[in-house]
Amino acid sequence: MDLPARLAPFFARRGWSLHRHQAEMLERAEEPALLLIAPTGAGKTLSGFLPTLAELAENPRPGLHTLYVSPLKALAADIRRNLLTPVEELGLPIRIEDRTGDTSQAARRRQRADPPHILLTTPESLALLLSYEDAPRIFEGLSRVVVDEIHALAESKRGDQLFLALSRLQALAPDLRRVGLSATVDDPAEIAHLLARSPDPCAILHADPGERPDLSMLDAGRAPPWAGGAALHAIPAVLEEVRRHRTTLIFHNTRAQAEIFFHNLWLQNDDALPIAIHHGSLSREQRTNVEAAMLRGDLRAIVCTGTLDLGIDWGNVDLVIQMGGPKYVKRLVQRIGRANHRAGVPSKAILVPANRFEVLECVAAIDAALAGDLDGTPRGPGPLDVLCQHILIRACAGPFAADDLYAEIRTAGPYADLARADFEACLDFCATGGYALKAYDRWRRLLLRDGFWQLRDPRAAKRIRMNIGTIEDTGTLSVRLRSGTHLGEVEEYFASTLTPGDTFLIGGQVVRFEGLKEMTVEVTRRPDATPRVGRFGGGKFPTSVALTRRILDLIRQSSPDLPRHTADWLALQARVSRLPRAERMLVETFEAEDRWHAAFWGFAGWNAHQTLGLLLTHRMEAQGLDPLGFVATDYALLVTGLREVEDPGSLLDPRDLREGFETWLQGNAVMKRTFRGVATIAGLIEKNLPGSRKTGRQATFSTDILYDTLVKYDPGHLLLRVTREEAQRGLVDFGRIEEMLSRIQGRLDHVRAPHVTPLAAPLLLERGRVPVEGRGRERLMAEQAARLLEEAGLEDLT
């Protein structure tokens, strides 16, 4: 199809012609659901809007025509600016506005009264809009919804919430057409299923694949260190690459690593190259400043995290550096695409392994990325906590019949197979709390009147609206200078470990902890001090199953792609002990530093190894092996204790492991953390009250207590079920343990080494050891307390 006449001048003036997929998007604009898969830089977003511009140019009409949803507020604002250019140039009668958490109250009210033609928003802001009683009026004329970066949304609860919102939109505007814009994914059909009105089909369009990327591993001139994730050894080489390129994005996997790297980078940045830092714990002003400097072209590099995986198109980026193992091939490909965001130029990326194991991971990831072998993460059906929130949102908008809502929800891809019983359980939870003890008949939240469910107290709508969203609040505290300047956020847990005088890194500067004031961490600047390692939130994903398999293949084939130092290391391991194999479990036991160690080479990702560590040490405690703690990495679990594990096979019995998971593991901190997220999303607790915050002296209590209480008194409660299911897939990752067990089928190689083995040596150096709360630990704690008492000269008080 040709470009509509009204739009042609805009393209002509720029010497542009339509991409094939853009023309196809115009041709197939009438499809009820259409998914476009395109590499970055292919003009994806414009493709999504062309049919809207064409329709409104030909047939101007008032009211909301197209809703655009993206995962990032910044994208919504950026797209608005980009769309305004053709609209203004061509004099089209189209009003475009964005609506996010940053939009003023006045603007939001106006948008509800008089919606623009194109509204750009986020899943959360859309959910909020749908909670208003006037939602039917706002959306009745809606023709198109465009979901940008749908592959990213599809991986999280934000996507589940969005797809539920689409089911609601479709009920309000039956002729609504859905368009999804996605980066390259391993399974387009799965995304298509989520996008379409279930069970209807969804057409898929593939844009031409871009140029083959230019990928390499950094040659830092020397072998990376044995352990750690900071990759400080690579700083001179990284600076050299920054110097050689126009603009570089330096990606890290965690905020803490980004901070440490950034701090050390500046200590060696002798040319004072303009390099900034960007991650989710920094204040919004700070991030906005960095983004603005980037747009102006003032920066040569940004040290960043996943917050820049997606985002506005910075055409000037010509190099991406991935620090550390990329963990997911899919994410690596996404990051690579951030460089040379123009068609016809290959993206260029350099991978920097931070330690020996990551050399393997980087080599495997480069192979996989070049082969287009992306790793999938099947998510399973839509989680019920998000469904509970959706029901509450629906109730805010007005009375509803259960049958209607159930039917509507089943048109959302993630909930296509939702059982009626599960729906009823969620509805009951929203109405009464869903407890076995029916305590709240007088105070229930939803009532059934004349066949319609509604809020008992309409004022509750305000509280429900304040709680909308599925992005987890990890419980962070604001870090401020005495003057009030906000520097960023740190996790509550990290803050609770600080004593006045401690120094840590935030925003690349070293600060000194002065005290906790209300909910604020007060600090002073201390540029001269050596920082303690910062611990922030920020995702640490386990290495994907597909990538792990490739790593095991590399080890087995002693691949020629491996650098000399790494090949030598593996060869030495083969001589001293054995090399790990996919179909067997290697267990090494040895004595070092007066402790016994057992390394379990499970290759199941660090989440699963952490769970395995909890399960195994629990069994070791029972067997009197006095475990003291363990370290989990993506490749292995290292357990440290006072005695040797002589029969590792007895610890790995699948039945015992499963039973341990079912019973005692439910008291674990990981389960409690998962519960906190679930309880917040489902609306059991409010985002701030009474979860993790306290205001002034009004003490509130932790959700851990709610979890323990439910486990003890109401073990069949809906939210416990949701927590278990989620933890199995996520933080606990029992699925990966099952995958490992079925891979090894009880085949065990136990090597009793005379000393630490080459492969296990790095594990001894890893940080983040998890202590075992056993008899030994409680004893150590009492001893430590006694020492402190003596030092303080306080024995007389005892």
Residues that bind another protein (CB under 8 A): 432-433, 435, 437, 439-440, 442-445, 457, 460, 463, 482, 496-497, 499-500, 514-516, 684-686, 689-690, 694, 697, 699-702, 705-706, 709-710, 712-714, 717, 771, 773, 777-778, 781-782, 784-785, 788-789, 791-792, 794, 797-798
Q: Please, what is the minimum distance in Å from the beta carbon of residue 497 to another protein?
A: 6
CB contact set of 636 (below 8 Å; sequence gap of 6+): 599, 600, 601, 602, 603, 609, 759, 760, 763
Q: Please, what is the minimum distance in Å from the beta carbon of residue 798 to another protein?
A: 6
Q: Please, what is the minimum distance in Å from the beta carbon of residue 474 to another protein?
A: 15
Cα-based torsion angle of the residue sequence 165, 167, 169, 171 in order, rounded to the nearest 10 degrees:
-150
Q: Please, what is the minimum distance in Å from the beta carbon of residue 441 to another protein?
A: 10
CA distances (Å), 621 to each of 629, 640, 669, in order?
11, 12, 18
Place of tokens 């609206």: 465
204 vs 519, beta carbon nearer another protein: 519
Amino acid identity, position 614:
L
- Can you read off the two tokens belonging to residue 747? 């085949």
690 vs 730, beta carbon nearer another protein: 690
Judged by phi (left if over 0) then psi (alpha if -120 to 50, else beta), residue 403 lies in alpha
Q: Please, what is the minimum distance in Å from the beta carbon of residue 732 to another protein?
A: 19
The counts of H helices and E strands in the chain are: 31, 26
346 vs 776, beta carbon nearer another protein: 776
376 vs 715, beta carbon nearer another protein: 715
Q: Please, what is the minimum distance in Å from the beta carbon of residue 665 to another protein?
A: 17
104 vs 496, beta carbon nearer another protein: 496
CB distance 250 to 260 below 8 Å: no
168 vs 672, beta carbon nearer another protein: 672
CA distances (Å), 792 to each of 497, 780, 785, 797, in order?
20, 18, 10, 11
450 vs 795, beta carbon nearer another protein: 795
109 vs 775, beta carbon nearer another protein: 775
- Can you read off the two tokens belonging to residue 296? 């102006």
568 vs 783, beta carbon nearer another protein: 783
Q: Please, what is the minimum distance in Å from the beta carbon of residue 484 to another protein?
A: 14
CB distance 178 to 147 below 8 Å: yes
- Can you read off the two tokens belonging to residue 581? 């194999």
516 vs 576, beta carbon nearer another protein: 516
CB distance 277 to 303 below 8 Å: yes
CB contact set of 117 (below 8 Å; sequence gap of 6+): 52, 56, 63, 64, 65, 66, 94, 95, 96
Residue 767 CA to its chain's centroid (Å) = 22
Task: Report the distance separating Cα 456 and Cα 238, nearest Å.
Answer: 61
3-state secondary structure 338-402: CCCCCCCCCCEEEEECCCHHHHHHHHHHHHHHHHCCCCCCCCCCCCHHHHHHHHHHHHHHCCECH
201 vs 768, beta carbon nearer another protein: 768
Q: Please, what is the minimum distance in Å from the beta carbon of residue 725 to another protein?
A: 19
223 vs 689, beta carbon nearer another protein: 689
**Radius of gyration (Cα) for the chain, nearest Å?**
28
How do strand 301-304 and strand 248-251 relate by DSSP bridges?
A: parallel
CB contact set of 135 (below 8 Å; sequence gap of 6+): 129, 168, 172, 397
Q: Please, what is the minimum distance in Å from the beta carbon of residue 499 to another protein?
A: 7
Task: Report the distance separating Cα 217 and Cα 344, nearest Å.
Answer: 23
41 vs 434, beta carbon nearer another protein: 434
267 vs 797, beta carbon nearer another protein: 797
Q: Please, what is the minimum distance in Å from the beta carbon of residue 476 to another protein?
A: 17
Task: Report the distance separating Cα 188 and Cα 455, nearest Å.
Answer: 40
Q: Please, what is the minimum distance in Å from the beta carbon of residue 496 to another protein?
A: 7
Q: Please, what is the minimum distance in Å from the beta carbon of residue 37 to another protein?
A: 44
Name residue 515's beta-bridge partners: 522
Q: Please, what is the minimum distance in Å from the beta carbon of residue 722 to another protein?
A: 14
Residue-level length of the chain: 798
- Can you read off the two tokens belonging to residue 537? 């939130």
Amino acid identity, position 624:
G
Q: Please, what is the minimum distance in Å from the beta carbon of residue 457 to another protein?
A: 6
CB distance 68 to 79 below 8 Å: yes
